[in-house]
Structures are given as C-alpha cells and as structure tokens.
Amino acid sequence: MISRLWRGRAETATANAYYRHFTETVVPALKTLAGHRGAWLLRRDADGDTEFLAITLWESRQSIEAFAGANIDVAIVEPEGRAVLSDFDDFARHYEVAFRS
C-alpha cells in the first residue's frame, strides 16, 4: 500500500470551505477509483492560518496514476480548492506503508 501526502493552507475564514470541498467532493470522487483505500484530512491552526494535510491510501502506483496521471508527484488541486486555499504544495509525496495496525 502507498500513502500519498499533500499540504495546503487556508485563511481561518475559508478553512471550513476547504474542509467541505474535501469531504463532500474530493472523497466521494476518490471512492469511485479502483485501488483507493481511504483518506484522512488533518488540520491544525498555525501562524494565524489553518494548515491541512491530506493523506490518501492507494493499493499501488498504478492506482495513483489513474487519479494523478503518469507523474504521480504532481498535486491535483481542483479549482474549488484553489479558490479557498491561500497556499498549497504543487507536489505530493509518496510513502510505502511499512506498518499498519
């Protein structure tokens, strides 16, 4: 299994809008993809803004490619997300899941 991590920031006033976008639009779309194995959205207040860390789990590199394209490191940030985020990573990081309980 592979974990895909991506980070974004929002002004506190728009943080709930990003949360809703992720939970109501992104996650339902991910659930339709073969090989998608789950998602978490972590959030914390930092330096007057809200930081998000999105973690998605995937069965294989091929399943990530079905979502992100051949270059799986490129972040996928939909226009609705871009509209409410003040900053975000242009790339995602991938880690093999070494242990899971």
CA–CA distance from 45 to each of 9, 10, 13, 42, 86 (Å)? 10, 10, 12, 11, 14
**pLDDT of amino acid 14:** 94
pLDDT digits 0-9 by tens, 55-73: 999 999 999 999 999 999 9
**pLDDT of amino acid 10:** 98
44: confidence class by pLDDT, cuts 50, 70, 90: very high
pLDDT digits 0-9 by tens, 2-39: 999 999 999 999 999 999 999 999 999 999 999 999 99
Quote the pTM value: 0.93
Distance CA 53, CA 85 (A): 12
Q: What structural domains and CATH numbers belong to the chain? A: 2-96 (3.30.70.100)
